[in-house]
Amino acid sequence: MRTRAAKRYQRRFFLTMVAYVAVLFASVTAINQYEPTGLPLVILSVLPALPVIACLVVMGFYLIEETDEFVRQRIVSAMMFGTGVVLSIATVLGFLQYGKVIGNVDVFWAFPIWCMSWGFAQCWLTWRDSRAGGNA
């Protein structure tokens, strides 16, 4: 059963993702159609990051508002796993770049990789707890 905080989180997360898709589409369209330079290009390039930052704020609110300590601990554990995955990948890629083994890597993949790793960890924790007879 989802907690009230989880329901609020899902609603807020959905809204930030809708905003992200809309802003990304508008920004890419404007950049491709009008080919701006200078400050307008900088603004259009940064705009899609704002809903992603809002998403991080939404996640922070979820941690603050969640009153179930077990659920909160699972969220933090899964987030730490995601953070570990992203930092590990970044470290390996950084050394590969330093050694000129690979070229530049697009860093905007850090957030999607973190989210996917977090989701994987939550699924694994649920599976592990269900196998152990615990609450999922």
Whether the predicted pLDDT of 111 surpasses 60:
yes
* 61 and 114 share one domain: no
Of 18-22, 72-76, 85-89, 130-134, the range with the lowest mean pLDDT is: 130-134
* 89 and 53 share one domain: no
* 14 and 53 share one domain: yes
What is the number of domains present in the chain?
2
- What residues contact 68, with CB distance under 8 A and at least 6 apart? 3, 5
The residue among 66, 81, 107 that closes a domain is 66
- The predicted structure's pLDDT at residue 2: 87
CB distance 3 to 67 below 8 Å: yes
Domain of residue 6 covers: 1-66
Could you tell me the pTM of the whole model?
0.86
- The predicted structure's pLDDT at residue 136: 55
* 136 and 75 share one domain: yes
- The predicted structure's pLDDT at residue 133: 81
* pLDDT tens digits for range 26-51: 999 999 999 999 999 999 999 999 99
* pLDDT tens digits for range 48-85: 999 999 999 999 999 999 999 999 999 999 999 999 99
* 40 and 50 share one domain: yes
* 117 and 76 share one domain: yes
Residue with tokens 């809002």: 54
Please state the separation of Cα 80 from the chain's center in Å. Answer: 12
Share of the chain above pLDDT 90, in %: 94
Tokens of 66: 């969640």
Which tops the pLDDT comparison, 69 or 133? 69
> How many CA atoms are closer than 13 Å to the CA of 4, on its beta-carbon side?
3
DSSP 62-127: HHHH---HHHHHHHHHHHHHHHHHHHHHHHHHHHHHHTTSS----GGGHHHHHHHHHHHHHHHHHH
What angle separates helix 110-132 from helix 69-98, to the nearest 10 degrees?
140
